[in-house]
Amino acid sequence: MSTKLETTLAEQIDQFIDLALQEDVGPGDYTSLACIPPDSISKAKLLVKDPGVIAGVEVAKAVFKKVDPAAELEVKIEDGSPVSVGDVAFIVTCNSQALLKAERLVLNTMQRMSGIATKSNRFVFEVEDLETKILDTRKTTPNIRFLEKWAVRIGGCHNYRDGLYDRIMIKDNHIDACGGIKQAIETVERYLYDNKLSLEITVEVRNLVELHEVMDIGKVDRIMLDNFEMPLLVEAIATIDRQYETEASGGITINNVRKVAQTGVDYISVGALTHSSISLDLSLKIIK
């Protein structure tokens, strides 16, 4: 979940807010400072303008509390809930200058997270009666991976690796750079032993020849079947026969994810959950 193993989610949120406010506000929100009295208090509503799944309400709470410790948030719709056009997710009462300072940060974050949660939820819907789990990938926006992966969970899908440090994933470039599948697996095994590391191992295969090579070698936890056509995917799942965890990846869309899941594959990784989600349209409007 975190970019550093020792960093808590609360600390990440706090760091994110500080950096985001520094980027957006800089030395001051001069428009608000110039035209709004410093002691003014406003009430505003978070208005939903697209149907989907709401996400980021908890982040919004933290943002408003950062800019105004006295801010009060009345949550109408919790994270992970379906929303329709015209719904009000929350009402915030806050110092007016602080409210406008936080407005764009809250909207940008919630729109992005809600878009990811909505897309994730649609993938879950396609396979909800099957045992296959939908995973995200590392195809995330730098420095806000923790928010995007949080949104994936809110939408009902599952997180894969948080980073390069929490699982071994031997992919095509590793195999080619190392000189082959056998060399890559054996070198990884030796490295883990020498460094006293206990990490699960996934190896990617591109065809049935590579699959049989991995099956002969063993020493892995999961086999990733990358860009397999459906007949070959069915054959590969049958060949593995539950001896290892299986994962399908590459070219997975909302239109074919169910067919892929029906092969009996354990996991399907979908980079599009994060890299191709469309933000949900939201607005923050002061209540007069």
Summarize the confidence of residues 45-52 as an average pLDDT.
Answer: 98
Q: Is 104 a catalytic residue?
A: yes
Please give the share of the chain, as a percent, with pLDDT higher than 70: 98
Query: Do the Cβ atoms of 249 and 138 come closer than 8 Å?
Result: no
What is d(CA 165, CA 90) in angstroms, rounded to the nearest whole number?
37
pLDDT computed for residue 4 by the predictor? 42
pLDDT tens-digit series, residues 2-25: 334 446 899 999 999 999 999 999
pLDDT computed for residue 7 by the predictor? 64
Cβ neighbours of residue 50 under 8 Å, at least 6 residues apart? 85, 280, 281, 282
pLDDT computed for residue 45 by the predictor? 98
The domain 158-269 having CATH identifier 3.30.70.260: the answer here is: no
Summarize the confidence of residues 250-257 as an average pLDDT.
Answer: 96
Distances (CA, A) of 214 to 40, 64, 167, 199, 235: 67, 52, 18, 18, 15
Q: Is 139 a catalytic residue?
A: yes
SS (H, E, C) 244-272: CEEEEECCCCCCCHHHHHCCCCCEEECCH
Catalytic residue among 76, 139, 182, 258: 139
Summarize the confidence of residues 92-115 as an average pLDDT.
Answer: 98
Summarize the confidence of residues 70-86 as an average pLDDT.
Answer: 98
Catalytic residue among 65, 76, 104, 138: 104
Catalytic residue among 210, 226, 247, 266: 226
Catalytic residue among 122, 167, 171, 206: 171
pLDDT-based confidence at residue 288 (cuts at 50, 70, 90): confident
Structural domain spans, the chain? 9-117+278-286, 158-269
pLDDT tens-digit series, residues 145-179: 999 999 999 999 999 999 999 999 999 999 999 99
User: Does position 114 have pLDDT exceeding 60, yes or no?
Assistant: yes
Q: Is 226 a catalytic residue?
A: yes
The two structure tokens encoding residue 42:
């406003």
pLDDT computed for residue 1 by the predictor? 38
Summarize the confidence of residues 195-220 as an average pLDDT.
Answer: 97
Domain 9-117+278-286 class in CATH: alpha beta
